[in-house]
Amino acid sequence: MTDKAVPAAELYTDEFAADPYPAFAKLRTDSPVCPVTSPRFDSFLITRFEDAKAALNDPRLSKDLYGPGDHYLRIFGPNSAGLNKNMLNSDPPEHSRLRQVTGRAFAPRRIEALRPRVAEIVSGLLDKVEPQGKADLMRDFAIPLPMLVVSELLGIPRTDNDNVLEWTQVIRESGSSGRPPAEEKARVQEAQAWLHGYLQDLVTAKRAEPGDDMVSMLISACDEEGVLSERELVSTAFLLLFAGHQTTADFIGNAMVALLTNPEQLALLRKTPELLPHAIEELLRFDGPLPVASPRVATEDLEYQGVRIPEGSIVGVVINSANHDSAQFEDGDRLDLTRERGPHLGFGHGVHYCLGVSLARMEAQIGIGALLRRLPGLALSVPVDKLRRLPAASPFRGLIELPVHFTA
């Protein structure tokens, strides 16, 4: 076992972007708590299941990155400040307040009521795709589906959807445009500024004319109940917009690749559609969209696996490595849709456990179910190793394009 620091550039190679799981397996064996150095910030990666689960629930690992060291600024850059005061970046008791306000809108009954509308959005997207015999499943399906759902939830007018989508994609795809790094960084900052301005304008519009949507609900928590500040209101809307579509889009893309490259599993699912809810959990374990949980900072000196993590260090809990740990999941690198359902970490763990879990499951079940039903003979149009992916160092694991063909 070694706790030798790895330069980020050595870890995050093109090979890693295509398939990070061999590197994760090596880390779990050789360096389960691995220091990683990078020009912007150093961190520790936690890669084994038991440690990852413990770390996600460890109150000594704070999500409040604004304290000494200005970690938030170092990690996310300027312009993010107006968008970062939300539950994901706070600790209890502040976290509990922020989560409670938003949690009302995610009550299972409210989410279940969305089922027919989600099915309608899925049908509408597939009506356009079906006659063509080919598609880019990211552009034509996986990205617009959760974006349309979350936009409706938030109360974003349909006429604004294209602009919002365009700017959120600039953030999602950062690092993959081929532009020089300085230009790329400037464009991400421009996107953050645009979204900040857009959400502020949306709040102003909803204040004047409230609706039955989440932004109006957050405004009333702010204005009438006084439990939310203006900055928290805009930051929460941003979190919901981003968390609500990015992860689900990448998950649907990753899940389809996993199925299309494991034909026996795909055939099993087609033959046994009632397996779908179970299959969704296994697909999320197998290749989730958030490889590393959002950054945490050590509030005191810690020790995991005998490795000292000094106070002030940034810690990344590697969900996608933990979910392949064979100490927890037998033959963890294998996709097995009949695998006994285990407690994977794909939706996180502890107080920051995904708030949108019911909605995410519903969208994935309806979306993937419909793709399999309505696109017979579905197959990748390029070899799997030629798929264009988000860069290795991206916080998200996902595809830029997913070209497929099928029988029209």
| DSSP 8-class letter at 5 | -
**Residue 87 CB, nearest approach to ligand HEM (Å):** 4
Query: Smallest distance, Å, CB 186 to ligand HEM?
Result: 27
- Single-letter amino acid code for the residue at 31: S
**Coil/strand/helix, residue 350:** helix
Tokens of 151: 């936009």
- Report the residue closest to ligand HEM, judged by CB: 356
The residues with which 35 forms a beta bridge, in sequence order, are 44
Short-list 256, 339, 245, 291, CA closest to 46: 291
Nearer to ligand HEM, 93 or 306 (CB): 93
Which residue type is seen at 234? V
Secondary structure (3-state) at 252: helix
CB of 352 to ligand HEM, least distance (A): 4
Judged by beta carbon, residue 355 or residue 406, the one nearer ligand HEM is 355
Cβ 63 to ligand HEM shortest distance, Å: 7
Q: What is the DSSP string of 211-222?
A: -SSHHHHHHHHH
- Residues making contact with ligand HEM (CB under 6 A): 56, 87-88, 99, 150, 239-240, 243-244, 247-248, 251, 284, 288-290, 293-294, 346-348, 352, 354-356, 359-360
Helix/strand/coil percentages in the chain, nearest 5 = 55, 10, 35
Q: Tell me the HSE value of 89 on the side-chain side, using a 13 A CA sphere.
A: 24
Contacts (Cβ under 8 Å, ≥6 apart) of 22: none
Q: Which helix (H) or strand (E) holds 26?
A: helix 21-30
37 vs 294, which CB is nearer to ligand HEM? Answer: 294
- Our CB check for ligand HEM shows the closer of 184 and 350 to be 350
CB nearer ligand HEM, residue 361 or residue 406? 361
Report the candidate in 35, 24, 47 with the shortest Cα–Cα distance to residue 307.
35
Give the shortest CB-278-to-ligand HEM separation in angstroms. 15
Of the two residues 169 and 406, which places its CB atom closer to ligand HEM in the complex?
169
User: Given the complex with ligand HEM, which of 156 and 406 has the nearer CB atom?
Assistant: 156
Q: Give 106-121 as a DSSP string.
A: G-HHHHHTTHHHHHHH
Q: Which of 52, 406 has the CB closer to ligand HEM?
A: 52
CB-based contacts of 70, cutoff 8 Å, min separation 6: none
Closest contact distance (angstroms) between CB of 246 and ligand HEM is: 8
Torsion over CA: 262, 280, 170, 292 (sign): negative
Question: Cβ of residue 200: shortest distance to ligand HEM, in angstroms?
Answer: 20
